[in-house]
């Protein structure tokens, strides 16, 4: 849950995903770059979630699996929209 005291933890995620979105849009003509960008963004999201929960000492296998599942789902949806799968 987002709280005011955790905004510094969410800032890198927001900045990285925002920059990723801009790069994704800029390379709209190149599906391969978009594919790799989506993979990198999902890996970053997963790693960010694991580190975030590790810092707060509430990292469990279930939490890690949840972040992994959301990352895979996001990749699947975006790649389906791009007609790459």
Residue-wise pLDDT for 18-50, tens only, equals 999 999 999 999 999 999 999 999 999 999 999
What local confidence, expressed as pLDDT, does residue 85 receive? 63
- This prediction has a pTM of 0.86
Rounded CA-CA distance 24/21 in Å is 5
Decide if 7 contacts 42 (C-beta within 8 A): no
Helix (H, G, I), strand (E, B) or coil at 30: coil
């Amino acid at each position: 849950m987002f709280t005011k005291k955790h905004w510094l933890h969410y800032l890198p995620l927001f900045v990285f995903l925002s920059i990723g979105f801009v790069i994704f849009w800029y390379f709209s003509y190149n599906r391969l770059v978009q594919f790799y960008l989506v993979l990198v963004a999902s890996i970053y999201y997963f790693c960010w979630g694991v580190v975030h929960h590790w810092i707060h000492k509430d990292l469990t296998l279930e939490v890690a699996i949840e972040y992994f599942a959301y990352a895979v789902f996001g990749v699947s949806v975006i790649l389906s929209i791009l007609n790459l799968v």
